[in-house]
Structure 1
Amino acid sequence: MAPVNFCATARVGALALILSAGTAFAEPKHGISMYGEPDLGPDFTALPYARADAPKGGSIITGEGGGFDSLNPFILKGSAPWQLRFFYAESLMGRAYSEPFTLYCLLCETVETGPNREWVEFTLRPEAAFSDGTPVTVEDVMWSFETLGTEGHGRYASLWGKFASMEKTGDNSVRFTFNEENAELALLVAIRPILKKGYWDDKDFTESGMDKIPVVSGPYVISDAEAGSYIELTRNPDYWGKDVPFMQGQANFDTIRFEYFGDASLVIEAFKAGELNAHREFNLQTWEDQYDFPSVQSGDVVKSVIPHQRPTGMTGFGMNTRLPQLADWRVRQALIEAFNFEYINEVQTGSKQTRITSWYSNSPLGMDEGPAEGRVAEFLAEYADDLPPGAMEGYSFPVTSGREIDRTTTRRALALFEEAGYTVENGMLVDANKAPFTFDILLKSGDNENISIINTYVSALNQLGIQPTVSVVDPAQYTERVDTFDFGMTPIRYGLSLSPGNEQYALFGSDAADAPGSRNQMGIKSAAVDGLIGKMLSAQSQDDFYAATRALDRVLTAGRYAIPIYSWNVSLNAHAKEMKIPEPLPIYGDWIMWREMTWYWEE
C-alpha cells in the first residue's frame, strides 16, 4: 500500500480559528468566510491544493452501482446521477476544501454583505457564460432561485423562504435581503446552482427524463448518455472560466465517464478487467486481499490512501421514527443491541474496519466520552425535558463478544422490549394487543454488502421473535420509497462538514421531518436538536460553537436514530498510474468532486 503524503500545512489550527471574530463587511470582496477572513487574498492565483499548471487531457472512468432514468438532478421526480448537480450548474461562488467554510468568487466578480450579513450582493463577471455562449445574467440568477425554491427538489425550498427580497441592483448585480438573523445565509446563497432561464422557457422544469440535456455554465457538457447504463461528460474547450483563479488547476480531464452496474459488486470486477480506470474501495479487507491483480503488480494501477479531517458522519441503518413501533427509544436501543457489529465486522471485513462512535467523531466537533461537562452540559441542561437517556450522562454503542450468538446482548434487547410493552409468546414478539412486532427493511437491488449484513441481522432478530420484512427493490423504487418515508429501516450515509450550518436543519430539524424527499430520513423531531442547531448557528465564540456542536452530537447519538457501521477516516482510491494527485491534500480529503476536478493525467 502506498499512502499519499498528507501535507503538514493542512492546518488543524484552521479548525480552531473558524470562529474567530472581527470580520469586516460592507465592501466588495473576492471571497467570504463563515467566520473571520478567507485564507487567500484577492491576488490568489489558484487554490492551494490544485496544481495551477496541471496538464489537460486523459479520461477518468469510474463505476456506480444502480442506475438512473433522468438528466435533471434539481427536481424530486426521477432518478438522476447525483454528480450532475455539481457538473451542470456553477454557483456564484466556489467552495475551498482547504478551509472549513470559505467561498471564493466564481460566477461573481465580487461579493458584498451588510454589517450583520442581513443582505448579500453579488456582481457577476462580465465574461461568465453558458455552454451555448450566452452570458449569465442577473435574470438567470433570480429565475434560478425562484424556480428551485418553488418547483425544485425539497432541498432548495428552505432557503427561498428566508428571503425578504431579491432585487436587481445594476446591470450585473443582484441583492438578496433576508427575513431573519442568520450569518450563514449569505454563504448558502453563494453556493446555489445557477441555471439558464432561456433554456427552460418552453419546457416543464418539473419533468424528468433523458430527452432534455440542459445548457450549463460548468467546464463539462454531456456528450453521451444511456439511461441506467452510462453517462459521459466532455470538457468544453470554450469554457468561459478557464482563466478564473478559482478554476486554475481544475477540470483537467478531457472526459469524465460514469458506468452503471445493476449489481454493485460488478464495479470492482469491471475495474480489474480494465473497463474502469479509477475506483473507490469501501471495504478494508477487500482492499488488502483483492487488490493484487496483475495491473497492481505491474504498477499500471496505483493504490492511494487519502486521509482527511472530516467528521465520520453516519453510515449504517436508519430507523424511521415516524412509525409507532419505532418511536420508542427503548425499541430502537433493543434493535441496536441485536445488531452484532463485532460478528458482522469479522464476517464482512475480517474485523479490519473500525466502528463509528458518534455523528461527529474523528473531528474536533465530536462529543467527549463520559458525562457532559462545562459549556456542553450547560447547553444540554436547557433541554433537560427533551433529552434522550445518555445524552447528559454519556452514551456509547454496545460491544458484543464477537460470537455469532451473543446471549448477553439478546437478554438486554429482550429486557428493553419488555419495558416498552412487548412480550414473547409462542416464539413471537407481540405487543399488549398480541400484534406481532415487525417492520420493513428497505434495500436497493445490487447493494450486496448491505444485503449480506441485513441477512445476518435478520437471523439475530429471529432469535428475539421478530420477523421483519426485507424488501429489495430497483433503484427507482428505492428512491421513491425513501423520499416518501415508506420504510422501517434502510441504509443511510450522512457526510458531515467541518463547518456545520443551516443544512443541519435539513438533516435533523423538525420542520424537515415530514417534507417529501427530506434528508431527515429518520423523522427526527426534537426540541433539543432544533435548539442546539440554533445555538451552533448563533455562536459568538469558538468555545460556544464547539460546545453546541458537541452537545448536538450527544443528542443525535443518544437518540438511537441509527445503527452505525464502518467509519472511513481515510479514502481508498485505486487508479491508473497516469492519474496524478496534486498536493498538499485539502483538510476535507477525498470530498465531493475533488477527484474529478483536481486530479490530472500525466503520461
Structure 2
Amino acid sequence: MRRRSLMASGLALAAVPVLARAQTPDAQPSAPPAAAPPQGGGPAPRRVQALSLLGEPALPGDFRHWPWVNPEAPKGGGLVLTAIGSFDSFNPFILRGTPAAGTGTLLYDTLMAPSADEASTEYAHLAHTVELQADGRGMAFELNEAARWHDGRPVTAADVVWTFNTLREKGRPFYRAYWGDVSEVVAEGERRAVFRFANDANRELPTILGQMPVLPKHWWEGKDFTQPGLGLPLGSGPYRLESFEPGRSITWRRVADYWGRDLPTRRGTNNFDTLRYEYFRDTTVALEAFKAGQIDFRMENVAKDWATAYDFPAVRAGRVKREEIRHELPTGMQGFAMNLRRPQFQDVRVREALGLVFDFEWMNANLFYGSYTRTTSYFSNSELAATGLPSEGELMVLSAFRGRLPEQVFTSEFRVPASDGSNSNREHARRALGLLKEAGWTVKDRRLVNEKGEPFAFEILMDGPTFERIALPYIQALQRLGIEARPRTVDAAQYQVRMDAFDYDMTTEVFPQSLSPGNEQRDFWSSEKAKEQGSRNIIGISDPIVDALVELVIAAPDRQALIDRCRALDRVLLWGHYVIPHWHSRSFRVAWWDKFGKPERNPRYALDMMSWWVDPARDRALPADRSQAG
C-alpha cells in the first residue's frame, strides 16, 4: 500500500530525494547561472543542483548516471506487472476515482529526482538549478530549457505555478498539509518559478517541493480537475499511455524522443519499450497468473506464499528466479489501527487491552514461517525509533508537556506485549480484562458490555483476503474477552471510499516513514487533519501535545534535534496505544521469469525495477507458452 504508502506497481519503493550539484550529461562543467541580486543588501542566494537534508550530496556536479545502474542497458522488450482491484481514472491527485497504475510515476516528471542510494537527497531533473534564499524564506527553480510535454510544447514556470495552486486547492488533502508553509508561488519569466515561504523554520520545504510532479496547464484548460475520468492524459515523463481496457489492463509505451532520456537521473533506466499492468481482483489469482507466465515480475508480500507457493516446475527448472534483496528503508508502522471517532476506542485503557491479546509470536511461527520482526516503533528500522528510556535530548523535548502526559512516558520503556506463542496467554487476558473493567466494561453472559448493557462490538475492515488469516485468530482472542469482532472484506474501490470518509472501526494501515520526517507528519497525526476527509489521519488523533511535537519535528534545526524530536513523538504515539503493531521485513522478496538483465547491485533505499532490462537471449530461451516452461 490498499497500502497507501506503497506503489501498486512494485517498480520502485524510493527514498525521499537531497542538495548536490548535477549537470545534464554531455555538457561540460560550468558555473551555475548568476543568482538574483539580494534585496536589502543581505547575503546572496545560493545556487545548487542538488538538495540534501542529511549532509552533502554524494554525487559530484558532473555525475553521468546513478551509481547502481548500467548506463549501457539495452532498450526494448516489455514488462508485464500485476495490479489489484480496478481503475476508473487517470487522475491520481484527487479524492474521487481509482487511478490507473503508473499514472503518476510514469507519466509525469518531478522538479527534482530522488536518489534511491542516499537518504533524503534529490538531484536536478525538470529543474536545471535551484536557488535558495539565504534567509530560508524562499527558493526558485530554473527549469531545464529542454523539458517538453509529449505534444512538443515546453514545460514552463506557468505549469509549475498552476500545478502547485491546483493541487493545493483541488487535490487530495495531503497537499495542503505538505505544502502548508508556502505563502506564494509566482512565475518570473518562462522558466523561473519562485516559491515564498511563510517562515524560515521549515528546513525540509525545498526538498519536498522538489518532489512535486508538474502537470500541463494548457491541457487542463477547460477541464474540471476535480472529476475522475479516462481521457488520455498528457505528460512529460518517460512513458505515455498507449492503450487500456477500463478496469482490466493498461499499457504504457516508452517515449522514444523523451526529452530527459540522457539526463544523469534517467540514463540506464526506463529500459522497457512497454509496461503493461494486468488487473486482478485478489492476490491469489494474481499469483496463479504469475505461475502461468502471464506476469513477468512479482514482489511477494505474503510470507506463507513465499515459503510454500513457489515450488512449481518453472522454479525447479530455473525459468523463474527468486531472491530476497536486503534494503535499508525505514519500515514505519503497520498495524491494526483503531478509529478514535468511534466511542468504544476513545479510552486508552481499552486500546491497550486490545493490544494485549494480539499474539504476534504465535502468528510469526504458525502463519509467517518466522520471517518477520515485530514492529515496536512508528520509525522502525531507523535511528529515529525510540528505544529504552528517554535520552537527555528527548527529555528536554518532553519536559514541556510534563503533567499533561502519562508519567510512564518519562520513566518507563515502552514494550509491545510478547507471548509464549501459545495463542492463549492467560496473563495478558487477565490484564486486558482488568483494564477493560477500569474503563467501565464488564462481562455478562460471556459478553463484554458497558454500563448501559451495550455490547463491545466492532468490524475489522479489509481490502482483500490476505489479511483475513491474520484477523481471524485475533478475533478468536477477542472473543475470549467477550468482544464481538467481525471481519469485513470489500473490494479496493469501496475500501478507498470508506477510508477516505473515515467509515471504519478497525483496519490494517501502514504509516510509512523516511529518514527525514517532516511536513507529512501533519497529515498523519494533526488535529486539523483528523477532521478532513481523505487525510492520512485515519486514526482521528486530535491531541494538542501531538500537534506541538509534529511542529517541533518539522522545525528541527539540525539532525540531532530531529532525532530527539522524532523519538519524543514516537513515545507519545506508542503510549497512546492507537494501533496494535504488526511486523516488518528488511528485504524485498521478488520473483521473476528469467528474461531480464539487472544491475550488479540494488540501491540502498529502493527496489529499482526500472533499471532492469530485457535480455534478448534469455527472452528467446523461454517457451512461447510459459505455462509449459517447466
One fold, TM greater than 0.5?
Answer: yes
Provide the rounded CA distance (Å) in 2 between the counterparts of 1:453 and 1:539.
38
How far the C-alpha of 1:474 sits from its partner, in A, is 2.0
1:142 is paired with a residue of what secondary structure?
Answer: helix
Any idea what the Cα deviations from partners look like across 1:22-44, whole Å, max 9, x if unmatched?
xx982322112224332222211
Provide the rounded CA distance (Å) in 2 between the counterparts of 1:484 and 1:542.
36
Aligned to 1:468: 485
Q: Is the contact between residue 100 and residue 498 of structure 1 (CA under 8 Å) also seen in structure 2?
A: yes
Root mean square deviation, CA, Å? 2.1
Unpaired stretches in structure 2, ≥5 consecutive residues:
1-14, 20-42, 617-630
- The equivalences for 1:146-545 within 5 A come to 146-181=165-200, 182-210=202-230, 212-369=231-388, 371-388=389-406, 390-392=408-410, 393-444=412-463, 447-545=464-562
Residue identity opposite 2:383 in structure 1: P
Provide the rounded CA distance (Å) in 2 between the counterparts of 1:413 and 1:389.
20
Q: Is the contact between residue 79 and residue 272 of structure 2 (CA under 8 Å) also seen in structure 1?
A: yes
How far the C-alpha of 1:543 sits from its partner, in A, is 2.3
How far the C-alpha of 1:160 sits from its partner, in A, is 5.0
Residue identity opposite 2:466 in structure 1: E
Matched, 1:601 2:630: no
Compare 380-389 and 26-35 and name the one that shifted more. 380-389
1:87 is paired with a residue of what secondary structure?
Answer: helix
Closer/same/farther in 2, CA of residues 389 and 449 from structure 1, 3 Å limit: farther
How far the C-alpha of 1:92 sits from its partner, in A, is 1.0
Matched, 1:586 2:606: no
Matched, 1:96 2:109: no
How far the C-alpha of 1:161 sits from its partner, in A, is 4.0
Compare 510-519 and 62-71 and name the one that shifted more. 62-71
Provide the rounded CA distance (Å) in 2 between the counterparts of 1:248 and 1:160.
30
Aligned to 1:8: none
How far the C-alpha of 1:149 sits from its partner, in A, is 0.9
Aligned to 1:3: none
How far the C-alpha of 1:386 sits from its partner, in A, is 4.1
How far the C-alpha of 1:554 sits from its partner, in A, is 1.9
Matched, 1:548 2:565: yes
1:357 is paired with a residue of what secondary structure?
Answer: coil
Q: Is the contact between residue 360 and residue 553 of structure 1 (CA under 8 Å) also seen in structure 2?
A: yes
Identical amino acids, percent of aligned pairs: 38
1:411 is paired with a residue of what secondary structure?
Answer: helix
Residue identity opposite 2:158 in structure 1: E
Closer/same/farther in 2, CA of residues 71 and 412 from structure 1, 3 Å limit: same
Report the TM-score when normalising by structure 1.
0.91
Q: Is the contact between residue 177 and residue 519 of structure 2 (CA under 8 Å) also seen in structure 1?
A: no
State which of 32, 38, 57 in structure 1 corresponds to 2:76.
57
How far the C-alpha of 1:390 sits from its partner, in A, is 4.3
Aligned to 2:11: none
State which of 134, 152, 160 in structure 2 corresponds to 1:133.
152
Closer/same/farther in 2, CA of residues 586 and 213 from structure 1, 3 Å limit: same
Unpaired stretches in structure 1, ≥5 consecutive residues:
1-13, 19-23
- The equivalences for 1:73-112 within 5 A come to 73-81=92-100, 83-112=102-131
Closer/same/farther in 2, CA of residues 554 and 580 from structure 1, 3 Å limit: farther
1:170 is paired with a residue of what secondary structure?
Answer: coil
- The equivalences for 1:7-22 within 5 A come to none
Closer/same/farther in 2, CA of residues 389 and 401 from structure 1, 3 Å limit: farther
Provide the rounded CA distance (Å) in 1 between the counterparts of 2:465 and 2:44.
52
Residue identity opposite 1:174 in structure 2: A
Residue identity opposite 2:359 in structure 1: N
Q: Is the contact between residue 367 and residue 554 of structure 1 (CA under 8 Å) also seen in structure 2?
A: yes
Report the TM-score when normalising by structure 2.
0.87
Compare 388-397 and 306-315 and name the one that shifted more. 388-397
Provide the rounded CA distance (Å) in 2 between the counterparts of 1:589 and 1:90.
18
Closer/same/farther in 2, CA of residues 542 and 143 from structure 1, 3 Å limit: closer
Aligned to 1:576: 593
Aligned to 1:114: 133
Provide the rounded CA distance (Å) in 2 between the counterparts of 1:88 and 1:183.
29
Closer/same/farther in 2, CA of residues 404 and 538 from structure 1, 3 Å limit: closer
Any idea what the Cα deviations from partners look like across 1:500-543, whole Å, max 9, x if unmatched?
12112122222222211111111122333333333333333332
Closer/same/farther in 2, CA of residues 234 and 179 from structure 1, 3 Å limit: same
Q: Is the contact between residue 304 and residue 574 of structure 1 (CA under 8 Å) also seen in structure 2?
A: yes
Provide the rounded CA distance (Å) in 2 between the counterparts of 1:408 and 1:499.
39
1:375 is paired with a residue of what secondary structure?
Answer: helix
Any idea what the Cα deviations from partners look like across 1:335-374, whole Å, max 9, x if unmatched?
11122222233332233322212122222221213x2122
Any idea what the Cα deviations from partners look like across 1:385-438, whole Å, max 9, x if unmatched?
443564331111111222232222211111110111111112211112221122
How far the C-alpha of 1:82 sits from its partner, in A, is 5.5
Provide the rounded CA distance (Å) in 2 between the counterparts of 1:364 and 1:283.
27
Aligned to 2:46: 27
How far the C-alpha of 1:235 sits from its partner, in A, is 0.7
Provide the rounded CA distance (Å) in 2 between the counterparts of 1:259 and 1:112.
42
Residue identity opposite 1:599 in structure 2: W
1:519 is paired with a residue of what secondary structure?
Answer: coil
Provide the rounded CA distance (Å) in 1 between the counterparts of 2:139 and 2:434.
55
Provide the rounded CA distance (Å) in 1 between the counterparts of 2:286 and 2:424.
33
Aligned to 1:124: 143
How far the C-alpha of 1:559 sits from its partner, in A, is 1.9
Q: Is the contact between residue 127 and residue 135 of structure 1 (CA under 8 Å) also seen in structure 2?
A: yes
Q: Is the contact between residue 306 and residue 589 of structure 1 (CA under 8 Å) also seen in structure 2?
A: no
1:265 is paired with a residue of what secondary structure?
Answer: helix
Residue identity opposite 1:187 in structure 2: T
Aligned residues: 576
Any idea what the Cα deviations from partners look like across 1:154-181, whole Å, max 9, x if unmatched?
1112345433222222231110101122
1:553 is paired with a residue of what secondary structure?
Answer: helix
Aligned to 2:8: none
Compare 259-268 and 144-153 and name the one that shifted more. 259-268
Residue identity opposite 1:138 in structure 2: A
Q: Is the contact between residue 525 and residue 537 of structure 2 (CA under 8 Å) also seen in structure 1?
A: yes
1:260 is paired with a residue of what secondary structure?
Answer: strand
Compare 73-82 and 464-473 and name the one that shifted more. 464-473
How far the C-alpha of 1:207 sits from its partner, in A, is 0.9
Provide the rounded CA distance (Å) in 2 between the counterparts of 1:583 and 1:547.
37
Compare 240-249 and 466-475 and name the one that shifted more. 466-475
Any idea what the Cα deviations from partners look like across 1:70-115, whole Å, max 9, x if unmatched?
2210110011135422222211111111111111111111110101
